[in-house]
């Protein structure tokens, strides 16, 4: 079975950064108020509202990096990747040490299949913040999509060292091990991902595929059935 590699994700750290508040003020309503409103709208999935409020904040203070970041965050979820990249780039221009902006711009590039551009951004993110576990996972995803299985495994292993409770790191490393042909390593990683997140239907499905390759049809059927049950709950 050929491995289907992961898609990058907006990490918790990046999400928290997306919810940061600006401290600039203007008139009776502050830019902080507007970015705070955008934060609440991002949480609710009101992307149009978040974009509108961030745009207002930017109109009053074009140097507010967090407003650009938050607007890029909303645009990415709306599927406007070029718009997201533009906003993240502006946030980086205003705040060159903005590791989360590099990470999220990398995500937008990865979702356009610009793996080299994504890797460059994730690499900058971990250069700025060597403890940024989610950026390592995302870079591993991008490397995996280029069939750089060793690079993907190294990045996921680094993320696990930083945070052993990251189920996604084990899942992604499992995909890389599968791609490399290390079926036992893949099963071990998928199993750890399931231990940490028992509701991950994709991990059960992926482990089932490896079990088929190893001739364990009964084990594969059990995993496929569990994945189906989990997906049925959704």
Instruction: For residue 92, name the pLDDT band (cuts at 50, 70, 90).
Output: very high
At the top level of CATH, which class does the domain 1-146 belong to? mainly alpha
Instruction: For residue 20, name the pLDDT band (cuts at 50, 70, 90).
Output: very low
Mean pLDDT of 208-226: 98
* 151-234 fold: 1.25.40
- For residue 234, the model assigns a pLDDT of 62
Q: How far apart are alpha carbons 213 and 220 in whole angstroms?
A: 9
Q: Where are the domains of the chain?
A: 1-146, 151-234
pLDDT at position 84 over 70: yes
> Nearest 5°: phi and psi at 193?
-60, -40
pLDDT digits (tens, 9 = 90+) for 44-67: 899 999 999 999 999 989 999 999
Burial class (CB in 10 A: 0-12, 13-18, 19+), 212: middle
Q: Which of 36-40, 177-181, 201-205 has the lowest mean pLDDT?
A: 36-40
Q: How far apart are alpha carbons 78 and 230 in whole angstroms?
A: 26
**Torsional class of 76: left (φ above 0), alpha (ψ -120 to 50), beta (otherwise):** alpha
pLDDT at position 39 over 60: yes
Do 1-146 and 151-234 have matching folds? yes
pLDDT digits (tens, 9 = 90+) for 123-177: 999 999 999 999 999 999 999 999 999 999 999 999 999 999 999 999 999 999 9
Is the separation of the CB atoms in 206 and 174 below 8 Å? yes
């Amino acid at each position: 079975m050929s491995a289907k590699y992961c898609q990058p994700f907006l990490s918790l750290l990046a999400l928290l950064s997306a919810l940061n508040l600006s401290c600039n003020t203007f008139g009776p309503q502050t830019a902080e108020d507007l970015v705070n409103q955008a934060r609440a709208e991002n949480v609710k999935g009101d992307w149009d509202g978040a974009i509108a409020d961030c745009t207002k904040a930017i109109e009053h203070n074009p140097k507010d990096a967090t407003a650009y970041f938050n607007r890029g965050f909303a645009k990415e979820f709306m599927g406007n990747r070029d718009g997201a990249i533009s906003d993240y780039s502006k946030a980086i221009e205003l705040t060159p040490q903005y590791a989360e902006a590099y990470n999220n711009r990398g995500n937008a590039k990865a979702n356009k299949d610009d793996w080299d551009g994504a890797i460059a951004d994730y690499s900058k993110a971990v250069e700025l913040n060597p403890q940024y576990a989610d950026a390592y996972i995302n870079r591993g995803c991008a490397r995996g999509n280029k069939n750089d299985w060793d690079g993907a495994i190294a990045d996921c292993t680094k993320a696990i060292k930083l945070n052993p409770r990251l189920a996604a790191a084990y899942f992604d490393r499992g995909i890389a091990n599968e791609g490399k042909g290390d079926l036992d390593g893949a099963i071990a990683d998928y199993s750890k991902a399931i231990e940490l997140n028992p509701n991950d239907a994709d991990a059960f499905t992926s482990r089932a595929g490896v079990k088929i390759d190893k001739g364990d049809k009964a084990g594969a059927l059990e995993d496929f059935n569990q994945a189906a049950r989990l997906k049925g709950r959704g």
